Amino acid sequence: MATAAHENAGKLTVLGEGDLTRVQLFQGSAGHAVLSGANPAGVGVLAHAGVTSVNDSGLVRGPPHRRWTAMPC
Residue ranges in the chain whose pLDDT is less than 50: 66-69, 73
Domain extent listing, the chain:
2-54
Q: Do 25 and 18 form a contact (C-beta atoms < 8 A)?
A: no
Kind of pairing between the strands at 51-54 and 11-18: unpaired
pLDDT recorded at residue 21: 85
CA atoms within a 13 Å half-sphere pointing along the CA-CB vector of 33: 17
Supply the pTM of this predicted model: 0.71
